[in-house]
Amino acid sequence: MEFVTILLQTGLGTLLDVAPIVAILFLFQAAVLRRPAPNPGRIALGFVFVLLGLTLFLVGLQEALFPIGETMAVQLTSAALEGAESAVVRWDDYLVVYAFAAAIGFATTVAEPSLIAVSLKAEDVSGGSIAANGLRFAVALGVAVGVALGCLRIVTGTPLPWYIIAAYAVVIVQTFRSGRNIIPLAYDSGGVTTSTVTVPVLAALGLGLAASVPGRSPLIDGFGLIAFASVFPIMSVLAYAMAVSAIARLRGSKTE
């Protein structure tokens, strides 16, 4: 019974989230475009699926995954702390935390619905030359590296801007060495990775870590993991594209 209440509550919440979008769409459709969308029945069914799907997805996450993820983040950070008895924080006392951060960053990104949406569209638009799963793998790898580095930053207490600005510099260099076609998609993949699944887990991880490392404040140092998870996928997607074209070039030169 309790489960049904949660389901209904989340459903209502999702409906309220979607309401402004539907209102804007209707307003412009009726007042400006004055042309009915093709196949309104199918689109309505699609919206019902999206609402229902998102509701179930969120309820499942809240009931099953988030509590575990948060408990694990707290347990792991405090377990790492027990190993480090001295007052001096050593970065290598937290290796387990970095490993967990990378693994959970990768795993949550693979399940991220907005990334699935963008990668399906990219495969469609590119006529299959960009594989949806390859793209998602590249993005997830970027998030994994980014989040692990983000945790290292929290432990060492080094300033966030150094890392992010250095990452920008790498992205800029990569941009001028990559094929034009991949650049917009790579920039987009930075924004789509951090959404429904990843943000709450990363927030819990960052706060748990900042609270347990001596000398760090969860308020000031807990921020920043999302920023890492948004910049590093840009790098990894550009690298993925460079690797794919390099392999294609190698194959091409072999057959000649």
Partner 1 sequence: MRRYRLGTTLTALWRRLADALRDLAPIILVIAFFQVAVIRQPFPDLAGVALGLVCVVLGLALFVQGLELGLFPLGEAIARAFAHKGSAAALLAFAFCLGFGTTVAEPALIAVGDKAAEVAAEAGAIAGSEEARNTYAFRLRMVVAFSVGLAIVLGVLRILMGWPLHYLIIGGYVLVTLMTLFAPDEIIGVAYDSGGVTTSTITVPLVTALGVGLASSIKGRDPMLDGFGLIAFASLTPMIFVLAYGMVP
Query: Which residues in 31-60 contact partner 1 (CB under 8 A)?
Result: 32-33, 35, 37-39, 42-60
**Quick one: which of 1, 4, 87, 172 contacts partner 1 (CB under 8 A)?**
172
Least CB distance to partner 1 at residue 256 (A): 27
Least CB distance to partner 1 at residue 174 (A): 10
Least CB distance to partner 1 at residue 34 (A): 9
Which 215-244 residues touch partner 1, going by CB under 8 A? 219-227, 229-230
Which 69-88 residues touch partner 1, going by CB under 8 A? 69, 71-72, 75-76, 79
What the block records as the tokens of 167 is 């990452």
Can residue 138 be called a binding residue for partner 1 (CB under 8 A)?
Answer: no
Can residue 245 be called a binding residue for partner 1 (CB under 8 A)?
Answer: no
Whether the CB-CB separation of 146 and 232 falls below 8 Å is answered with: yes
- Cα separation, 212 vs 214, in Å, equals 6
Instruction: Return all residues near 189 (Cβ < 8 A) that are at least 6 apart.
Output: 115, 118, 135, 139, 142, 233, 234, 237
- Cα separation, 40 vs 45, in Å, equals 9
Full DSSP string of 108-129: HHHT-HHHHHHHHHHHHHTTTS
- Identify which of residues 90 and 121 has a Cβ nearer to partner 1 in the complex: 121
What the block records as the tokens of 161 is 């801007």
Contact region with partner 1 (CB under 8 A), list: 22-30, 86-94, 240-248: 22-30
Which 113-132 residues touch partner 1, going by CB under 8 A? 113-114, 116-118, 120-122, 125-126
**Quick one: which of 15, 30, 68, 246 contacts partner 1 (CB under 8 A)?**
68
- Cα separation, 51 vs 54, in Å, equals 5
What's 181's DSSP letter?
G
- Identify which of residues 32 and 88 has a Cβ nearer to partner 1 in the complex: 32
- Identify which of residues 89 and 188 has a Cβ nearer to partner 1 in the complex: 188
- C-alpha angle with apex 13: 7 to 17, nearest 5 degrees? 140
Can residue 20 be called a binding residue for partner 1 (CB under 8 A)?
Answer: yes
How many CB atoms neighbour CB 199 within 10 A? 16
Least CB distance to partner 1 at residue 51 (A): 8
